[in-house]
Amino acid sequence: MNLLIALIVGILFSASLFLMLQKSFFKLIIGVILFGYATIFFLFTVGGTTKNAPPLISPQEASVEGLADPLPQALTLTAIVISIGVQLFVIVLLKKVYEEVGTEDLDDLNTTDRI
């Protein structure tokens, strides 16, 4: 099961990197979104899941072996907020670049003389 999860996370990261290296603005945006989802899935799987385990334990129970680690869960929530912010920033930035330059091809943006 761990091999399957690692393979899925690797495929998500490699697909997002492939899309971010393409020439189109749309593929760049989709790659950034996919990278955010891959990061969230990675952090979610690092934390592990426990079934039927209470989030809080009583003082009488000293065993915390069956409980999930709260740090990856907090990092996952932080990654969600950061990825949404980065996605919105990239979308607005590429919209402004398209309005100024008038092209969607990233190879045409190798010089800033037109801006």
In whole angstroms, what is the distance from residue 1 CA to residue 7 CA?
10
Residue-wise pLDDT for 29-75, tens only, equals: 999 999 999 998 888 787 766 566 555 666 666 566 666 677 888 88
Per-residue three-class SS string for the chain:
CHHHHHHHHHHHHHHHHHHHCCCEHHHHHHHHHHHHHHHHHHHHHHHCCCCCCCCCCCCCCCCCCCCCCHHHHHHHHHHHHHHHHHHHHHHHHHHHHHHHHCCCEHHHHCCCCCC
What is the reported pLDDT for 89? 95
pTM of the predicted protein model: 0.74
Residue with tokens 């990261």: 13
In whole angstroms, what is the distance from residue 72 CA to residue 60 CA?
26
